[in-house]
Amino acid sequence: MKSLKVFVVSDSVGETGEHVVKAVVAQFRPNFEDTVIRRFPHIENEDQIKNIVEIAKAQDALIVYTLAEEIMRQKMHGQCQQNNIQSVDLLGPVIQVVQDKIGELPLEEAGLVHKLDDDYFRKIEAVEFAVKYDDGRDPRGLLLADVVLVGVSRTSKTPLSQYLAHKRYKVANVPLVPEINPPEELFLVDPKKCFGLVISPEKLNIIRKERLIALGLNDDAIYAKQERIKQEIAHFNKVVERIGCAVIDVTNKAVEETANDIIERIEHNK
């Protein structure tokens, strides 16, 4: 069996080229026997191209390249032709077809797909984090979070956590109840990334009554009484004062408004 060497050359990490090469080689050698696939990532100039082509010539290797810039593709093509190296341009022909079809010029920026993938996974990680550390389930998450929310019940802590998670922020939230001491981790959190959510007693009374009715319960339960609500808010004020964090009034704010307010403060503090 004849040995096969393939050099994958890229201005990014080279994953796309390597996947394609492996898919092709597998059609001939499912176990990749007598086959070497070598990646050359982050190629930025002609000198690097010349060096790779010289190595490929010495080792009788094929070159498969994914280079976003047209001038870099031309340099690679020229060097391979001069040295009689068999090569395949994976991106160039497809870029040209799309350009002709839509009449737009390509950005010619390396690694855009990889950046999108990273962004996607950061979002998924943030969403999973918000679910895991929702409603004070695990206080250890407070010290790992980008944003910590505290407030009494029905101040939109959970929907706000999820909204911020979709903006790639890891969020933990803690409900404050007078009968339960807040976790000690809460007082170790940087006050600049902690936000107390407060709401007017009148508005909270309406929201809680509607919640009880939706659950099929009597709306005159202690949970919705004004006295209980004032007691909870007084407890909330003591806790946030001890933390030293900012307090945001969410009485007449949509979740998006509160989220944007928090994001602006977080980015300003950075």
Question: Residues marked as binding for ADP?
Answer: 151-158
Distances (CA, A) of 132 to 66, 140, 162, 251: 39, 11, 11, 27
CA distance 19 to 192: 44
Contact 145, 172 (CB under 8 A): yes
Structure tokens at 262: 């928090």
At residue 42, the 3 state secondary structure works out as: coil
**Which positions make up the binding site?**
151-158
Tokens 């010539």 sit on residue: 57
Interacting residues of 10 by C-beta distance below 8 A, sequence separation 6+: 16, 17, 39, 40, 41, 42, 43, 65, 66, 67, 110
Q: For residue 14, is it left (φ>0), alpha (ψ between -120 and 50) or beta?
A: left
Distance (Å, rounded) from C-alpha 110 to C-alpha 113?
Answer: 9
